[in-house]
Amino acid sequence: MEILGVDEKLTGGDASWRDRLIEEPEAIASVLKQAKRVAVIGIKPEIAGGPAYYVPQYLQTHGYEIIPVPVYFPDITEILGEPVHRALDTIDGPIDLVVLFRRSPDVAQHVEEILATRPRAVWMQLGIANEEAAEALARAGILVVQDRCTKVEHQQLR
């Protein structure tokens, strides 16, 4: 089965990839505790507001380095005081966590760049899930959290 260029021959086709689909509260907490640098695809500027702004803002105020990767707003050059990147491959250094604020069907278009960047984990925000993308990422060794809010989960850590 081919999923966005990742096929079973390349990934071994074994079931252990399912272990990287994170659902247990302890494992979710571990993803957040181990992350320091967070790239946020689909982040919005303050003028647009909404969860795609205030959730990364919350994470930033709690010690995470936020790297904004907006999909829209082509004239915006800075969000949360950080320079905007238009793609993950323009970010210097490792990325611990990629947070997605994209509609579920739109997640697939980011899989290739995420695979090329090799973050430790990918987090699809509350209301966002894409099983094919999650499988491709998990088969590549990336931890995947779906349909959870990073802010809510972080607040439960405290």
Q: What stretches of 36-119 adopt beta strand conformation (E)?
A: 37-41, 65-69, 78-79, 82-83, 97-100
| Mean pLDDT, the chain cut into blocks of 10 residues (158 residues total) | 36 74 96 98 97 98 98 97 97 97 97 97 98 97 98 93
CATH tag, 21-157: 3.40.50.720
Pairing, β 78-79 against β 82-83: antiparallel
Task: Indicate the Cα dihedral angle 65, 49, 31, 92, nearest 10°.
Answer: -40
Q: What's the pLDDT score for residue 135?
A: 97
Q: What is the dihedral of CA 24, 30, 35, 39, to 10 degrees?
A: 0
Whole-prediction pTM value?
0.90
Q: Which of 4, 28, 10 is nearest to 126 (CA)?
A: 28
Spans of all domains in the chain: 21-157
**Residue 139: which residues within 8 A CB-CB, separation 6 or more?**
3, 6, 8, 11, 12, 17
Residue 68: half-sphere exposure toward Cβ, Cα within 13 Å: 25
Q: Residue 103's CB: how many other CB atoms inside 10 A?
A: 11
